[in-house]
Structure 1
Amino acid sequence: MTNDVVRVRLDLAYDGRDFSGWARQREGQRTVQGEIEDALRVVLRREETPELTVAGRTDAGVHARGQVAHVDLPAEVWAEQGGRLLRRLAGRLPMDVRVRRVSEAPAHFDARFSAIWRRYAYRVTDHPGGVDPLLRGHVLWHNWPLDLDAMNEAARGLLGEHDFAAYCKKREGATTIRTLQRLEWVRRPDGVLEATVQADAFCHNMVRALVGAMLFVGDGHRTCEWPAKVLAAGVRDSAVHVVRPHGLTLEEVAYPSDEELEARNLASRNKRTLPPLPGCC
């Protein structure tokens, strides 16, 4: 980063129901990135649209409470307008997307490559009467009783570093090796079941596919061992359903200390491979 450019961190939240995902798309598709970049261009009075880099590209319909992005701005623009940027964005952005915090990022910060983990929540109810109408945009209805203990037992077999190809929509040239750090379910006092899913990174559809497998265990259609067997097989199983996006929220993105950012960036860019199995040549 040169002295004439300042990297600015944006902490974001949005309701994903009316967005075609995070990433800017062809004209006519409303996206979170498009709304924020257009707002930045207007409030900063720039001819060119500033380009955002985001921690994780959420799909259409997915929400975020703890999304993080960065944008590089001319130093003179930041010096002149940085102090009032947050309030001006609040006045320009639609009500379903908010910038919660604007700050100058430390050296080597990258919203995507510096992240050490992302934490999502997926919310579902098995109430026989359906979803509370006030929660319908954020909670999935599953029309079978769910066994919380069985779902948590199944989840334990998926933790750790694995190739999650069986639970991902593969993209050309991208690895599907991830480290799943947390996958656990609780039933809230209101009866909603909430999954916490945390990993160093996620591949496309991974969280929603994992939740789909857990629901099949929870309602008794599959055994607790089945999700781990699907993982080990390494191929998509037609019984693993990618659940609907509206129950999913990106809750938090974590970063290392400022001194560790550069090393983290380099590590994140390295394509991951799994170590060989014991006894394998």
Structure 2
Amino acid sequence: MTESDVEALRRAHELFAGVGQPPTFASADRGWPSRRAGDVNSFVGQGDYQRRVQHSREALLSAARTDNAAARVIAGAHQDRAQAQALTKGVLDEARADAAAPTTPMAQREAMRRRAARLRAQRTHVLIARLHARRRSAALRALRYRMLHHRGPGLTGLAVPNGRAGLAVRAALSRLGRPYVWGATGPDQFDCSGLVQWAYAQAGIHLDRTTYQQINDGIPVAPAQVRPGDLVFPHAGHVQMAIGNGLVVEAPYSGASVRISHLGSNIAIRRPI
């Protein structure tokens, strides 16, 4: 927080704490409206400033929580990288130490076995590191979405429509970070169709259970007319939920978590009604 922010909050507080004389707010005072002293001290003026102070406090707390969460994700990514680096170096060091040329058929077979084992181990380390990186990236995208579209803590202020579609979107976003488990329907584990079924159930709308059934739920919609709450089918056997701004929320695959992803181009869309 800058000194000018602190000063603006202090001056607003003094209006209600009875400290000093009510100042005249200029238009440059970081969003505080310019009012005559009598207007500021009116009941309406006091309520307005109290709301603004409370909103600023909530925004600062929300930003701090987002910063802390992002710092944890980034720290975890560094830990993942260091662990992968150590594991792959260990495999490499083993290979370098195993430099003796086999002299018998038995020794040759054993050398081939060790070589194949090392290759498998190294491939596994790389794949695990890639999976961890994808999870960290999804977590950062989720934080970025919350920062851009939420006003204050919680899930209020989302840029989604009112009504049942909006309720379903908010319900799905409330499950961000929950693990994908095939066949799970919530509330703490989901597969792709289980997530959208559960989210719409919170809005009082029944969807069929599987992706292959949900492709027939609701009405078809042209991709150019997609809106938050629509079911998005990027390929056979997978369903996502549109949340606006070219994004979807989804339970993607085993080993991943509920996350925010970009809307694809070659998609089919259904709108629950």
What TM-score bracket applies, with the shorter chain setting the length? under 0.3
In terms of fraction of residues, the more strand-rich structure is 1
Q: Which has the higher contact order (CA 8 A, sep 6+)?
A: 1
In terms of fraction of residues, the more helix-rich structure is 2
